[in-house]
Amino acid sequence: MALVKGTPAPAFEGKDQNGQPIKLSDFKGKKIVLYFYPKDNTPGCTAQACDLRDNYQALQKAGYQVIGISTDNEKSHQKFIAKFELPFPLIADVDKTIHEQYDVWKEKSMYGKTYMGTVRTTYIIDENGLIAEVIEKVNTKNHSEQILG
């Protein structure tokens, strides 16, 4: 089933950069920016994470909890957070379970080759656990603006 506005966000559980469990139900009653990105320390992903970092106070003021998620491991996330001073958790979805729940692990192509990878997507989840918005055409340098409208 496609995840569209108004449908329940799939319940997930993963581990953050410190190996601590993090799940959707931890944020009951809060708005969440759940953003899926391909890889730590790559230009687009770094631009996106830094834009969210630079606008983190505005996002929090608007009531959002930001959670990033990629298939990188905890150690990679720790380095990424330290290097760019990211104030929000990153989930290590190494086995791609959450990616598959949110339908962002898909076939992609580059230079004529096809491969499986993360399709950069952000889900805005409301206080009731429903998907309020799906941002598929992410502007990595101005992502906060897309979220805050």
| Interval 107-140: pLDDT, tens | 999 899 999 999 999 999 999 999 999 999 999 9
Residue 110 has a pLDDT of 86
Q: How far apart are CA 126 and CA 73, in angstroms?
A: 28
- For residue 1, pLDDT beyond 80: no
Q: How far apart are CA 104 and CA 2, in angstroms?
A: 11
Catalytic residue, candidates 45, 52, 66, 69: 45
Q: Which residues of 19-57 are buried (b: 16+ CB within 10 A; e: fewer)?
A: eeebebeebeeebbbbbbbbebeeeebbebbbbbbebbe
CA 72 to chain CA centroid, nearest Å: 12
Q: How far apart are CA 81 and CA 68, in angstroms?
A: 11
Q: How far apart are CA 32 and CA 72, in angstroms?
A: 21
DSSP 76-122: HHHHHHHHHT--S-EEE-TT-HHHHHTT-EEEEEETTEEEEEE--EE
Per the annotation, the verdict on 50 as an active-site residue is no
| Interval 4-34: pLDDT, tens | 999 999 999 999 999 999 999 999 999 999 9
| Interval 28-85: pLDDT, tens | 999 999 999 999 999 999 999 999 999 999 999 999 999 999 999 999 999 999 999 9
> What's the CATH architecture for 31-148?
3-Layer(aba) Sandwich (3.40)
